[in-house]
Structure 1
Amino acid sequence: MNITVFCSAYSLDERYTEPARKFARLVGERGHTLVWGGSDAGLMGLLADEVKAAGGRLVGVSVAFLAHKSYQGADELVTAVDLPRRKAELLERGDALVVLVGGLGTLDEITEVLELKKHGHHEKPVVVLDTDGFYDGLRSQLRRMDAEGFLPRPLDELVFFTDEAEQALAYLGG
């Protein structure tokens, strides 16, 4: 399975890196392909290193202005001309989508993926690996949107939240 992961390119505290490392090892050990932002920096680089060390395949999708931070050990590396094309490529190449901790770029990616799914533009499973309650606020807001009729589909059809790497992969079928 090709698993697209959205996450931070910053170096983060151990409370965030260790769960990401565990998830990446499972992805690699189970023979899946990591499709990710293509960076060698921070959490992105850590994921790539772990997946590769565990025997998985790497497909990086970078963007032209960040090409200097591209992960050099990827099995395939694509460079998109801008961020919208990068997001489209990441969505297209993944059979499933997983969100780890991240900043504004990650938040942008998860909201776009959910908006597209809401409108039926894809039916790929979406998982938020909610490490240390990082996405509690997002989950709360989405629940409110669901309860107050802002979503045309039930929230549990759009996204699955978990704090366990095993549960994330089980939900994806892998």
Structure 2
Amino acid sequence: MNICVFCSAADLDEVYTAAAREFAELIGKRGHALVWGGSDVGLMKVVADGVQGAGGRLIGVSVEFLQHKARAETDDMIIARDLAERKALMLQHADAVVVMVGGTGTLDEATDILELKKHGMHRKPVVVLNTAGFYDGLQQQMLRMDAERFLPVPLTDLVTFAADAQEAITALGG
């Protein structure tokens, strides 16, 4: 299975890097491939290192203006023209999507993927790895959207929130 991970390129606290490393090792040990933003910095590097170190494949999708931060040691590196094309290529190469902690870029990627799923543009599982309750607010907001009928499909058909790496990999069936 090709698992797309959206996450931060920032250097983060150990509570987040440890959870990312644990999930990455589960990807690699199970023989899955990582599809990620291609960067060799921050949490993106932690995830790529973990997958590669556990024997998994790396499929990077970088973007022209960030190409200088792209990881050299990958199984495949794709360079997109812009961020919109990168998101589309990442989804195209993925069988499932996991959203880890991140900033506005990660939130943009997550909402875009969920919007496409809501409209039936893909049926891939989407899991939010809610490390240390980082996405509690988002989960609460989405529960309210569901309860007040802003979503045309049940929230459980769109996304699964997972508290830890094992719960996330289980939700993906992998």
Counterpart of 1:108? 108
Please report the TM-score for the alignment, with normalisation by the length of structure 1: 0.99
Query: What is the aligned partner in structure 2 of residue 173 from structure 1?
Result: 173
Measure how far apart 1:97 and its partner are.
0.2
In structure 2, distance between residues paired with 1:145 and 1:114: 13
- Shift of residue 170 of structure 1? 1.0
**1: CA distance, partners of 2:134 / 2:168:** 16
Matches within 5 A, 1:43-82: 43-82=43-82
Q: Which amino acid aligns with 2:7?
A: C
Equivalent positions of 1:1-174 (< 5 A) are 1-174=1-174
- Structure 1 residue 164 displacement after superposition: 1.4
**Structure 1: gaps spanning 5 or more residues:** none
Q: For residue 2 of structure 2, what is the amino acid of its counterpart? A: N
Gaps of 5+ in 2: none
TM-score, length of structure 2 as denominator length: 0.99
Distance 1:173 1:148 in 2: 30
How many correspondences in the alignment? 174
One-letter code of the match for 2:67? A
Aligned residues with identical type, % of pairs: 63
Please list the CA deviations of residues 49-86 of structure 1 after superposition, one character each: whole Å capped at 9, or x if unmatched.
Answer: 11001000000000000000001111100000000000
